[in-house]
């Protein structure tokens, strides 16, 4: 049975009857909130920059002011964004099933603003500031061109995980454990290109979970999912939520 949104009935039943659902979200979940995905062509001034070049410690050491201009541009974009129906559906689904673990690669905080609790921020958060030398969260004058640590005077950086940097240990451990324990793994709005986040689906599959992808475009991992639902989160997730609400 395929329902109106193109969600296979067996996928709906798996989510509805799951003891534990683990969700991994990527930039595609925030696209309908007006936040460009990580690999969409960047707009305006940032068009000539590749995010993969800017989101690195090397870029920050080379030109901290440039990197801060990029992150401030993104902070301003996100500050104007609102959670979309996809974010809200995930927050609502969590209240409807026994256990939902939400792991996000996004740094925009929109899941939390939509009401999701205990969000695991696998790649950190855009709005926190960390001392580059001490690697601790600091309060600082974020308005300065390159904020400095009030404690040691080193440059302050945005509290995100850059390429080549380790995932925060707690986030990594919690996410791996949830992927290994869940009955259903939902991979939503991610190109599945960035590791170790993209490896969570395989951990879930190896552990016997039903793995489901939601993405309007096929990804390099689509063939490995039990269900690859082609669609935008703003449509598919509210429909999935509605289907799981239909009690027999
Ligand atoms: C690490 C924060 C080691 C910064 C980001 C194998 C194993 C381990 C590591 C690696 C490996 N192979 C390569 C690596 C290195 C690297 C990596 O994965 N590189 C890639 C490019 C190949 N990984 C790392 O460096 C990681 N660290 O491994 O450390 C280590 C260990 C110990 C000690 C030292 C080091 C760290 C990676 C973290 C990078 N930081 N973000 C910032 O945001 O500025 S990653 C960045 O990419 C974002 O977080 C983003 O979310 C993430 C993934 O991208 P997506 O979310 O998937 O976004 P994308 O644009 O690609 O795709 C969007 C999708 O949405 C598309 O598919 C589109 O079709 C879909 N979509 C669009 N609209 C919608 C939609 N879907 C649904 N609805 C819609 N409406």
Active-site residue, from 20, 87, 111, 123: 123
pLDDT at 87 over 50: yes
pTM of the model: 0.96
User: Is residue 166 within 6 Å of ligand 1 at its C-beta?
Assistant: yes
CA of 16 to the centre of ligand 1 (A): 29
Starting at the edge strand found earlier in the chain, the sheet holding 227-229 runs: 120-121, 100-104, 21-25, 184-188, 210-214, 227-229
In the chain the domains, ranked by start, together with CATH numbers, are: 9-34+83-123+167-246 (3.40.50.1220), 36-80+126-160 (3.30.1600.10)
- Tokens representing 189? 């709005």
Yes or no: say if 44 and 69 are a contact pair by the CB < 8 Å rule: no
In the prediction, which pLDDT does 149 show?
96
CA of 156 to the centre of ligand 1 (A): 23
Unique residue bearing structure tokens 């259903």:
184
> How far is 96 from 107, CA to CA, in rounded Å?
25
pLDDT tens per residue across span 55-82:
999 999 999 999 999 999 999 999 999 9
In the prediction, which pLDDT does 248 show?
46
In the prediction, which pLDDT does 41 show?
63
The mean pLDDT value of the chain amounts to 93
User: Is residue 37 within 6 Å of ligand 1 at its C-beta?
Assistant: yes
pLDDT at 100 over 50: yes
> Among 70, 31, 43, which residue's Cα sits nearest to residue 158?
70
DSSP one-letter code for 148: B
In the prediction, which pLDDT does 72 show?
95
pLDDT at 45 over 50: yes
> How far is 84 from 136, CA to CA, in rounded Å?
32
Atom of ligand 1 nearest to the CA of 104: 51
pLDDT tens per residue across span 152-187:
999 999 999 999 999 999 999 999 999 999 999 999
Q: Which residues are 172's β-sheet partners?
A: none
User: Is residue 33 within 6 Å of ligand 1 at its C-beta?
Assistant: no
Half-sphere exposure of 114 (CA within 13 A, CB side): 25
């Amino acid at each position: 049975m395929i329902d109106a949104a193109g969600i296979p009935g067996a996928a709906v039943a798996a989510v509805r009857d799951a003891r534990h659902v683990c969700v991994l979200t990527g930039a595609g979940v925030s696209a309908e909130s007006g936040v460009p995905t990580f690999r969409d062509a960047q707009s305006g001034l940032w068009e000539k920059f590749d995010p993969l070049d800017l989101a690195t410690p090397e870029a920050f050491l080379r030109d901290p002011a440039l990197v801060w201009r990029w992150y401030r541009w993104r902070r301003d974009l996100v500050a104007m964004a609102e959670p979309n129906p996809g974010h809200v559906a995930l927050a609502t689904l969590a209240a409807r099933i026994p256990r939902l673990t939400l792991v996000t690669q996004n740094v925009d905080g929109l899941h939390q603003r939509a009401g999701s609790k205990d969000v695991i921020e696998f790649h950190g958060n855009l709005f926190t500031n960390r001392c580059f030398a001490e690697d601790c969260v600091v309060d600082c004058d974020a308005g300065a061109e390159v904020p400095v640590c009030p404690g040691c005077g080193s440059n302050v950086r945005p509290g995100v995980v850059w390429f080549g940097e380790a995932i925060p240990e707690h986030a990594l451990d919690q996410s791996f454990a949830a992927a290994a324990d869940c009955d259903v793994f939902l991979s939503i709005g991610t190109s599945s290109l960035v590791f170790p986040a993209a490896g969570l689906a395989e951990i879930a599959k190896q552990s016997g979970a039903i793995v489901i992808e939601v993405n309007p475009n096929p990804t390099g991992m689509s063939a490995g999912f039990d269900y690859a639902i082609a669609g935008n989160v703003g449509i598919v997730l509210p429909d999935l939520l509605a289907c799981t609400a239909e009690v027999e």
